[in-house]
Amino acid sequence: MGIEAEALVGVLALQGDFAAHERALALAGAGARPVRVPADLSGLRGLVLPGGESTALLRLMAPVGMEEAVRRFHGAGGVLFGTCAGLILLAAKVTGPEQPSLGLLDAVVARNGYGRQIDSFVGTGRIGLPGEEERDLEMVFIRAPRVLAVGPGVRIVGTHSGEPVLLEQDRILAATFHPEMSVQPEGGGPIHRRFLAMCDAAGR
C-alpha cells in the first residue's frame, strides 16, 4: 500500500461516525486527517464522507463552503468514499424526502430506505471488488438509504438480498451500509482497502 502513516486521506469530521473511519483506515495502514474546512483538503488524495445525519452535515458544510470544496476536490482528481449519509450527500437525486446533494454519483437514493432506527440490522451481503473474487461480507445497516436507480457509468460492486449497496463510479466509492463497523484487527476491511487502492491509483 502506497499510502502509509502520513495523512494522504481525510475524513470529513463535522458530524457522524468519522472517528470509526479514522480507526478503520489506521488498521488498513493509512493515516487520516480530520477535515473540517476546505483548507484541510490540501495535499490529500482521498476524502471519506461518513455516516451520520445528511441534513445536519449539509447545514454544517454550507457556512464554510465545504460543498463546493468537495466538488472541486473530486474534479481535480481526488477520490471520494461515502457511507450511508455520505452516499446520500454524493447522490445525483435524493428522495424520502427530497433534499440537496453534491450530485457527483449518478444514482437515485431514498433516505431511510429500510425504515427508522428501530429497523436497523446486521446482515450478510456479497461484494465483488475489482481484481478480487466475490465474497460474503458482514454489512451493518443503520437508518440506511436505499439505491433506487443508477446510471450507466455506475458499477454495482456489492449487493444485499439482490439490491445494490456498494457502488463505484469515476473515483467515487459509496456504500449504503457502515463498513467501518465491521473492520478486522488485521488489515482493516476490504472496503477501506479498496478506497486506499483507488487513492493510490489516483496518485494526486
Determine contact, residues 164/195, Cβ cutoff 8 Å.
Answer: no
Quote the CA–CA distance of 149 and 166 in Å, as a whole number.
13
Amino acid at 174: A
Catalytic site includes residue 21: no
Quick one: cell of 198?
483507488
Catalytic site includes residue 160: no
Of the residues 21, 22, 67, 84, only one is catalytic, namely 84
Quote the CA–CA distance of 146 and 95 in Å, as a whole number.
10
Catalytic site includes residue 178: yes
* Counts of helices then strands in the chain (DSSP H, E): 5, 12
Of the residues 21, 168, 180, 192, only one is catalytic, namely 180
- Alpha helical stretches, state H, the chain: 18-27, 54-61, 66-75, 85-90, 190-202
Quote the CA–CA distance of 105 and 203 in Å, as a whole number.
21
Determine contact, residues 90/175, Cβ cutoff 8 Å.
Answer: no
Quote the CA–CA distance of 48 and 28 in Å, as a whole number.
14
Query: Which residues are tagged catalytic?
Result: 84, 178, 180
